[in-house]
Amino acid sequence: MTSVTNASRKVLSRGDRVFSRTAVVSGSMILVILAAVAVFLIVQSLPALVADSESASILTTNFWGYVGPLIFGTVWAAILALAIALPLSIGIALFISHYAPRKLAQSLGYLIDLLSAVPSVVYGLWGILVLAPALRPIYVWINEYLGWIPLFGGVVTGTGRTILTAAIVLAVMILPVMTAISREVFLQAPKLHEEAALALGATRWEMIRMSVIPFARPGIVSGAMLGLGRALGETMAVAMVLSATGNVTFELLTSDNPSTIAANIALTFPEAYGENVNVLIATGLILFIVTFIVNAVARWIVSRQNAKAGA
């Protein structure tokens, strides 16, 4: 009996070692792949950093003059999408976790998860065929009554394919992941804190504001940064919906729209040659760096929130 037990322990111990090493190798592969991508982007980008309009036909002056408006368009579209999606995701998550009946909450949870499975091309088709024509009269109304605000000024486009339309499509695309993360974090809020707040006479909203949201703030930030990262790198939907001119402008309703790095690469790469390819890869490197900075800032914010909660 003792020998059988010892043999079982040896087998279990060997299995633990194999599993541990496999997990370490799998985790290390992430770093290896990330490093390989970074090396490829850097090596291929070096010729573009010193290129000019004579060596690369897509440049008008130099690389930084070319990528500057693209950085602005990428960040601007992502910020607009996040501003639209964040309050909606928090509201939907709170409704599912604390207000909706159980069966309705389960059904809504399934529907939100299904939105994540919709391909970006479908979102792009919906945006260009349905959303843009539907928003055009609304844009005219906004321009007529709120045109004194710089964001809504200018001449309204006749197609509805503006940076605001692209941002709405991006908001719908990032809404599921942000809602799912917020919902799970809200459900993990300490029940004793919620019951104590209700016992002291707080309304349901006061209980959520005092007990649930402070506990869930790091998770909300994580979900927002994850959605922002997807919005920064989204390609097909933006390329299909946005009628871009490549200019730097904050106006949301005109046909003069900035482009994004990912959409510009998708639209320009098929006809690129020579150093033009290196220029596009260099813009991809810039997007890689921007996304890395966003994730680093998100990690710092979450760590700071966790430290405050622990204190």
Please report, for residues 147, 191, 227, 306, the alpha-carbon distance to residue 298 in angstroms, rounded to integers and kept in the order given. 35, 27, 11, 12
What is the H or E stretch that residue 169 is in?
A: helix 163-187
The answer to whether the CB of 53 falls within 8 A of the CB of 140 is no
Task: List the one residue out of 74, 53, 49 whose CA is nearest residue 64.
Answer: 49
pLDDT over 80 (residue 105): yes
- Residue pair 253/200 in contact (Cβ under 8 Å)? The answer is no
Q: 36-310: what CATH class?
A: mainly alpha
Contact, 122 vs 169, CB < 8 A? no
pLDDT of residue 8: 46
Q: Residues 241, 243, 245, 249: is their CA dihedral positive or negative?
A: negative
Taking the C-alpha atoms of residue 78 and residue 232, their distance in angstroms, rounded to an integer, is 6
Q: For 211-248, what is each residue's pLDDT tens digit?
A: 888 888 888 888 888 888 888 888 888 888 888 887 88
CA distance 111 to 105: 10
Q: What is the pTM of this model?
A: 0.86
Is the pLDDT assigned to residue 76 strictly greater than 90? yes
Amino acid (1-letter code) at residue 152: F
